[in-house]
Amino acid sequence: MAGARAAIRYAKALLSLATDSNTAEVVNKDMKLIADTLAESKDLSEALLSPVISSSIKKATLLEVFKNTDKSTSSLIDTLVTNNRIDVLGDVASKYNQLFDESKGIEVATVTTAVELSADLKKKVLAKAKELTGKNVEVENIIDESILGGFILRIGDVQYNASVANQLNKLKQEFTLN
């Protein structure tokens, strides 16, 4: 819990700094890169959490991996290492992306499907999500074959589950109750 609060504080401070220096968009791309890299690289994530690896090695590694980033991003890495909070880097990156999107009035709609969304279907989902929220919307497609078919649409705290797996579960519950 304390790590999540710290991540929010660092993300807010970074967004404020980046906004003041007119680099918020560039830093947002850096934070997406960091979040994606940490999510994909189990070794790098574990190295950041390891108490055996020294802070100087963690810092040098991160600055090398993310060497083509904005100076605000490098400063964030330096600050997190100095404050012994480098373990929250991934959370800070995710929170920054979320705060940046909120500041731009962008809502992220997550659509979970069994197969990749076609361009036409993605456009329809985007239009419907825009209509429901009244905000600019970005569609993120997650592929999960376990839903069998249909889709699960999530915008903010609202979820609409039109998956085949969900419908089968409802039928199963109806038959077991009767």
Can you give the CATH number for the domain in which 165 is found?
3.40.30
What pLDDT digit, counting tens, does each position of 97-155 carry? 989 988 888 888 888 888 888 888 888 888 888 887 778 888 888 888 888 888 888 88
- 94 shares its domain with 110: no
- 86 shares its domain with 149: no
Q: What is the DSSP letter of 148?
A: -
In this model, does residue 176 exceed pLDDT 90? Answer: no
Reading across the β-sheet that carries 136-143, which strands appear in turn?
136-143, 106-113, 150-155, 158-163
pLDDT for the residue numbered 7: 92
Cα–Cα distance, 152 to 12 (Å, whole number): 31
In this model, does residue 1 exceed pLDDT 60? Answer: no
When comparing pLDDT for 29 and 163, which is higher? Answer: 29
- 26 shares its domain with 94: yes
- 96 shares its domain with 112: no
Task: For Cα atoms 82, 83, 86, give the angle at the middle one, nearest 5 degrees.
Answer: 85
Question: Under 8 Å CB-to-CB from 77, ≥6 apart: which residues?
Answer: 59, 62, 63, 66, 86, 89
- 89 shares its domain with 110: no
In this model, does residue 178 exceed pLDDT 70? Answer: no
- 65 shares its domain with 128: no
- Domain limits for position 48: 2-102
What pLDDT digit, counting tens, does each position of 30-88 carry? 999 999 999 999 999 999 999 999 999 999 999 999 989 999 999 999 999 999 999 99
Record the tokens describing residue 141, joined without a space. 């497609």
pLDDT for the residue numbered 2: 61
Amino acid at 5: R
When divided into structural domains, the chain yields a total of: 2
- 92 shares its domain with 16: yes
